[in-house]
Structure 1
Amino acid sequence: MQENKFSILIVEDHPFQLIGVQMQLNRLGFFRLAAALDASEAREECARRNEPFDLLLCDINLPGTDGVALTCELAEAGSIRHAILLSGRDEEELRALQRTLSARGLPILACLPKPLDQSALMRALEADGSFRLVEQSD
């Protein structure tokens, strides 16, 4: 499988879900992944890099802060180019949140329900146009 060049920071406080997201991204050809269990670890990952992550995949409900605040912080610092937020909230609430955050100028590609659906993730990435996904062969 061809590897995508995009770097992705995943912030998820549930280790099982974090591993699941990493596996889904690997199946899509994304291997330049960094993982964080909370906002502090995410900040450390960003500080280690000389360039921004192409994508932040972030749980909205994090210990000590929330994913929206972390996304704002990392976007303002120039540490991320795009973001997708994940939550157990219902889809209508997530669509409203996406509209609100986009109107505020945040680089939000989508707000998606958990558990992450690979098809929904692919649609969000492809809609932006800058993420070219690797074709899958089963």
Structure 2
Amino acid sequence: MFKHNLRILLVEDHPFQLIATQILLNNQGYFLLTPVLNAAEALEAMTRTPEPYDLLLCDQCLPDVQGFDLIELAYKRGYVRRAILLSGLGTAQLQALEQTALKRGLPLLGCLSKPLHGPDLSRMLQSSPPDT
């Protein structure tokens, strides 16, 4: 049995970052991962599953759409319950995205700077109560 039963859709367009994030999540006990390289693959994965993903962990700068827009679309279609945005953007830009998500009623747990640090991700995941 897995330590954490969260079903996570991981969207990262850089293969090295994708693998590194998978390893980081595995090391924290998250194994129910679906890794994809762009928004089109993410939408395909979301439409194939009967249940919404518990978490969309998404890079902001994807080649085919902005991560924020993917989160909004996925949530409105009922494909995801929560999301975390990953980005190399500055703190002010990340805070602006978080405020926009709040105004739009999106389930964004927050934004994390890249390169991703395990303790930051762990704190964000643990701050969110599980769905009942």
TM-score interval, normalised by the smaller of the two chains = over 0.9
Deviations 1:6-38 (A, max 9, x none): 100000000000001000100110100001100
Identity, in percent, stands at 47
Note if contact 1:91-1:112 (Cα within 8 Å) is conserved in structure 2: no
SS in 2 for 1:31: coil
Quote the Cα distance in structure 1 between the aligned partners of 2:23 and 2:8. Answer: 13
* Count of matched residue pairs: 131
Q: Letter of the 1:94 partner, please give it.
A: L
Q: How far 1:115 sits from its partner (Å)?
A: 0.8
Quote the Cα distance in structure 2 between the aligned partners of 1:36 and 1:123. Answer: 24
Query: Is there any run of 5+ residues in structure 1 with no aligned partner, and where?
Result: 132-138
Q: 1:1-138 counterparts in 2 under 5 A?
A: 2-130=2-130
SS in 1 for 2:6: strand
What TM-score, normalized to structure 1?
0.90
Q: How far 1:2 sits from its partner (Å)?
A: 4.2
What TM-score, normalized to structure 2?
0.94
Query: Is there any run of 5+ residues in structure 2 with no aligned partner, and where?
Result: none
Deviations 1:51-85 (A, max 9, x none): 00000000000012110111111001100000000
Note if contact 1:8-1:57 (Cα within 8 Å) is conserved in structure 2: yes
Q: How far 1:127 sits from its partner (Å)?
A: 1.4
The runs of at least 4 aligned residues of structure 1 exceeding 3 Å deviation read none
Q: How far 1:128 sits from its partner (Å)?
A: 1.3
Q: How far 1:96 sits from its partner (Å)?
A: 2.5
Quote the Cα distance in structure 1 between the aligned partners of 2:103 and 2:125. Answer: 19
